[in-house]
Every structure is written in C-alpha cells, then in structure tokens.
Amino acid sequence: MKATRGCRFSFHVTVVAAAIAYIYFSTVFVFIDQWLGLWSSPGILNAVLFSVVALFCILSYALAIYTDPGRVPSSFVPDVEDPENTVQEIKRKGGDMRYCQKCSLYKPPRAHHCRVCNRCVLRMDHHCVWMNNCVGHANYKIFFVFVLYAVIACIYSLVLLVGSITIDSPKDNQQIEGSYRTVYVLSGLLLVPLSLALGVFLGWHVHLILQNKTTIEYQEGVRAMWLAEKGSHVHSHPYDLGAYENLIAVLGPNVCCWAFPTTRHIGSGLRYRTPFEGSSTSRS
C-alpha cells in the first residue's frame, strides 16, 4: 500500500506553486489570447491542451510531495541464506551488512539515510527541497512524470510566448506593448532558463533510468569504477537489466501508463531484480 505523508510549510514548494500558477495564467490569458484569440477555435484548442498538461503537472507534483518515498520496516532483517537474493550490499569497510546507527535498522539494498528527513529511505535518489520530500522507491516515477510534464508545459508556453510576439495578432499591438510588456519580460526571464534547466534535468534522469541507477548510485559508481580500473577489474552496476527492462522496472510493464503518475508496479522495495536472476523473477 502506498503511504502518504503530511506536508509542512515550505518556502520552496510555495515558490514552485506560484511559478506554476503564473505560467498557466500568463499562457492562457495573455499569450493565447493575444496571438489566437482565447475564444477562437485555435485559441480554445490550445487553451484546453495546455490546461491538460498543466493539470497533469500539478497532479504529479502534489502526489510527489504527499507520497512517502518508502520506509524501511522495523522488522526488516537481511536474509543472507535466501538463494534468490543474489546481491547483498555490505559496508565498504569491514564487509558487514549495512546497518543504520541513527535508525537502528538494517538497510535493504539501495536504501540510504536522509539527513534532512532523519530516516532511511528505500531506493533513495535524492532529497528534493523543491518538493520538501525525498525522492525514493515509492515516488520516483511520480517525480519523473512531474518533471516530464513541467518540461512540456514550459516549452509549450515558450512557443506560445514567441508566437504571440512575432506573429501579427488580432489584438491591438499598443495593448501588447503597454499593459502586457511586464508579463512578457518576466515570462521570458522565467521560461527560458527553466526550460533549459528542466530539459537537462529530464535528460539526466532518462539516462539514470536506462541504466537503472539512482543519483546516489551513479555517484558511488564513479568512485567504484575508478577503484576497479585501478585494480585492473571491470565494474558493472548490479541492477542493470538492459535498457528496456530498466524502463519497465521504473515506469511499469504497461507502456500506456508510462506517462501517468501511477505506481502499482513498484512492490515493497526491499529487494530488486539483478541480471543474475531469470526474467520471470518478480520483485517482492
């Protein structure tokens, strides 16, 4: 069952919510209205399409905030004798099973302690201040879908902004240059860097998903690869199942649901498939 969490006040969340509201209203009631006419057929079509994208963006963002990223059960103890559990993560020093002294719990594979949330998070990717929440096992796909729709919304809005400036508008040009000048300037200053930053961020997480890595695992893998090369060994990520299987592992087996913030496929997050297991082996 998917857990939820209470949302305490966060300045960063307020900033994101304000930015979403500003981009939506400026796009629909200024850019579309000035370029196409809000009540024309093209205007209504673009307003509806942009509203749908904005709705999915807001829904995904809210779910990513309120969905608990995944807690380690207090009863969890690694089963070293389980023949199906082919990967046991151990401490770098000493070779003992990973144990969190702060939480007084054993760490399942891919779990890490978050200093901000002050607890261990299953398949932790990073702590996101813009969500006031960790990104982990239970909300990673939701977070990814939010970033996807945010990129689409920003680029869509930017196209409409440019179109409303460069294309002859049925509206009075003096009105554009007068009362809406500030809206266009602020929107350009917001949308251009936001589109670039979110586009790069989306590309980065697509890269991680294709390798079935988290941000933490990528950072750890760079050091592990350097040590392996130094010792004339080959380092490979133990959870890399191949590009398509990696996509399924994160986004779900139903391709039609990849663009929706659903997480019915994720399992408990206490163990993960590896290349050493058969393709029919399910996660528990």
Q: 229: pLDDT confidence band, cut at 50, 70 and 90?
A: very low
Residue 91 has pLDDT above 70, yes or no: no
Q: Work out the average pLDDT over 123-140.
A: 96
Q: What is the pLDDT of residues 183-219, one digit of tens each?
A: 999 999 999 999 999 999 999 999 999 999 999 988 8
By CB atoms closer than 10 A (0-12, 13-18, 19+), residue 159 is middle
Q: Are 219 and 128 in contact (CB under 8 A)?
A: no
**How far apart (Å, rounded) are the C-alpha atoms in residues 210 and 244?**
7
Q: 234: pLDDT confidence band, cut at 50, 70 and 90?
A: low
89 or 174, which is more confident = 89
| Residue 227: per-residue pLDDT | 45
Q: Are 115 and 105 in contact (CB under 8 A)?
A: no
Q: What is the pLDDT of residues 118-127, one digit of tens each?
A: 999 999 999 9
Q: Are 157 and 23 in contact (CB under 8 A)?
A: yes
Cα–Cα separations (whole angstroms), residue 196 to 192, 240, 273: 6, 29, 34
**How far apart (Å, rounded) are the C-alpha atoms in residues 187 and 15?**
15
| Residue 85: per-residue pLDDT | 54
Cα–Cα separations (whole angstroms), residue 117 to 2, 120, 142: 18, 8, 19
Q: Are 171 and 46 in contact (CB under 8 A)?
A: no
Mind telling me the catalytic residues?
128
* H-assigned helices in 125-242: 140-166, 173-178, 181-210, 215-230
270: left (phi over 0), alpha (psi -120 to 50) or beta: alpha
214 or 82, which is more confident = 214
